[in-house]
Amino acid sequence: MIYLDNAATTKMFKGAVAVYEKYACQTFFNPSAGYDEAIKVSKDIDEAREKILKKLGVKGSVIFTSGATESNNIAIFGSKRNGKWEYVFSEGEHPSVYNVAKELESQGYIVHFIGLRKDGQVDYDQLLNCLNERTRLISTMHVSNETGAINNLKLIDEIRQQKCPKALFHVDGVQAFCKLEYNLSEYNVDLYTISAHKFCGPKGVGALYVKNTSSLKNITFGGGQEGGYRSGTENVGGIMAMGYAIDNYDTQANYIKVEKLKEEFVKEVSKDLKITILEGESPYILGLNLQGVNGETIMRALQDEGILVGIGSACSTKKAGNRVLNSMGYDINQIKSHIRISFIGDLKVEEVKDAGKKLVEVYNRIWENVK
Ligand code: PMP
């Protein structure tokens, strides 16, 4: 099997599974308990917090969560305030941000959606025109899970400083963390979301970085764990396995490898002029439009050949159309013919080249029947 859907999830590091097992079966203590064994566990998860801060290059707090969906909910609902505040999102957001924005809107809050440019990045001119002194929160993703577009966080921060320096800046960093080399402190981000299963850690665990906790209110209530921002006993095994994945995911080496993989794959598929390659900058993600053929049909045909690809965000594959591509100016036929290829460093160049060849072959077979 050639797995090319690594933006949906990644295979866990074996070492991360071993770490999980240790904290599940040996040092399984509740970190909130008072005896020394539990205090040691509490210190261990604090070390995992430090790993996240260090990798991001920032100072502040880390709240452990059940994944990016929860982190995004805490960041957005936790930032809202009464009064005439405005909340700004992009059209390109993952449903775990976009649907929270829609919910805010339905509750009567003033919500703006910024469109995307043809290259998938946020339309910075629209953003400039939208922000004002009533803006409470700007929430944009770092790397698009659909297209691999990388938003210019430095520019967004500059626009914010110019128009609404007090507004909070939340970034969904799920497809960027561990995968790109950056220093978050350069962008003055207030809230940053990560999810372990995108970088070879376990599913169901993630974190929210918070620069200044006084900007945030808790949205759930309970025992007061995670500074009160996320009550409930921490997923210790998951957190420690995530820490292991951070330590063992070689960002630079993987980046160089996936750059090569993407290049080779693009070389293969661009031999067919009916295939449009989307511009996304991240080497991890490649969007393709396959003229005249439904993306789902291609996905299924490739599956029969032992190649697994995505047709957009796994969380929204059942939804008709695609809001993100629509915002980038693609028409409904292009949207229907979209597939997503996403790489990881342990793939072999030959595998990826074979997959590219197979894609062209499968596509043309189907094309002959539909044209
Ligand atoms: N944001 C982005 C950009 C994503 O790609 C995903 C996963 N598809 C999520 C949020 C949701 O992550 P999780 O599965 O950890 O809730």
Whether residue 213 contacts residue 75, with contact meaning beta carbons closer than 8 Å, is answered with no
Whether 19 has a pLDDT exceeding 60, the answer reads yes
Strand order across the 110-114 sheet: 61-65, 206-210, 191-195, 168-172, 135-141, 86-90, 110-114
What's the CA-to-centroid distance between 236 and ligand 1, angstroms?
20
Whether 191 has a pLDDT exceeding 60, the answer reads yes
* 69 in contact with ligand 1, CB cutoff 6 A: yes
Q: Which residue CA neighbors atom 10 of ligand 1 most closely?
A: 68
Whether 318 has a pLDDT exceeding 70, the answer reads no
Q: Which atom of ligand 1 is nearest to the CA of 69?
A: 16
Interval 121-169: pLDDT, tens: 999 999 999 999 999 999 999 999 999 999 999 999 999 999 999 999 9
What's the CA-to-centroid distance between 39 and ligand 1, angstroms?
31
Percent of the chain with pLDDT over 90: 94
Cα 193–chain centre separation = 8
Q: How confident is the model at residue 317 (pLDDT cuts 50, 70, 90)?
A: very low
Q: Which ranges of the chain would DSSP assign to H, the alpha helix?
A: 14-21, 36-56, 68-77, 95-106, 124-130, 153-163, 236-248, 251-269, 295-304, 323-327, 332-336, 349-370
Catalytic positions are 315
Q: Which atom of ligand 1 is nearest to the CA of 144?
A: 3
Pocket test for ligand 1, best of 64, 69, 177 (most atoms within 8 A of CB): 69
* 52 in contact with ligand 1, CB cutoff 6 A: no
Interval 94-103: pLDDT, tens: 999 999 999 9
What's the CA-to-centroid distance between 94 and ligand 1, angstroms?
7
* 146 in contact with ligand 1, CB cutoff 6 A: no
Average pLDDT over residues 216-235: 98
* 145 in contact with ligand 1, CB cutoff 6 A: yes
Q: How confident is the model at residue 202 (pLDDT cuts 50, 70, 90)?
A: very high
What's the CA-to-centroid distance between 197 and ligand 1, angstroms?
9
Whether 51 has a pLDDT exceeding 50, the answer reads yes
pLDDT of residue 160: 98
Whether residue 193 contacts residue 75, with contact meaning beta carbons closer than 8 Å, is answered with yes
* 172 in contact with ligand 1, CB cutoff 6 A: yes
Interval 88-131: pLDDT, tens: 999 999 999 999 999 999 999 999 999 999 999 999 999 999 99
